[in-house]
Amino acid sequence: MAGSIKIKTRLSRDVAEVKSLIIHPMETGARKDPDTGELVPRHHITQLVFANNGKAVMVANFSTAVSRNPYINFRFRGAKAGDTLRVSWVDNLGGSDELETVLS
């Protein structure tokens, strides 16, 4: 699932604004494949973690009811230019991805 994470950050003084978008189907397990009529198995991100310089800032726990290609926007204090923000996720089928970005 490499390349699934898109992130934009903006630093003003010590506050970092984080806008993140994860490309993920977020299948509920209740949807039928229109071609085969078979149920598409439940497939969703369970945890999305934001860590700044190795320290977790926010942990988002998801059910299947977060929309396809989830986006999360938030801000946190205590950031500075040069900090490394790491975004990582895992899903219920063992999939995962991560991305690091340097705050500036």
Partner 1 sequence: MQAGRRLLLKAGAALALLAALPKALLAAVWPQKAFLSTEGREALSALLGTDQTTPSDQITLKLPEIAENGAFVPVTIGTTLENVKSISIVVEKNPRPLVASFEMMPGVFPNISSRIKMAETSEVMAVVKTDTGIYSTSKSVRVTLGGCA
**63 versus 84: smaller Cβ distance to partner 1:** 63
For residue 31, give the 3-state DSSP assignment: coil
* Strand arrangement of the beta sheet that strand 45-52 belongs to: 45-52, 84-91, 96-102
| CA–CA distance, 36 with 13 (Å, rounded to integer) | 54
Q: What type of residue is 59?
A: V
Q: Which of 1, 7, 11, 90 binds partner 1 (CB under 8 A)?
A: 90
| Chain residues 24-83 in contact with partner 1, contact rule CB under 8 A | 28, 30-31, 46-47, 49, 55-68, 70-78
Residue ranges that bind partner 1, judged by CB under 8 A: 15, 28, 30-31, 46-47, 49, 55-68, 70-78, 88, 90
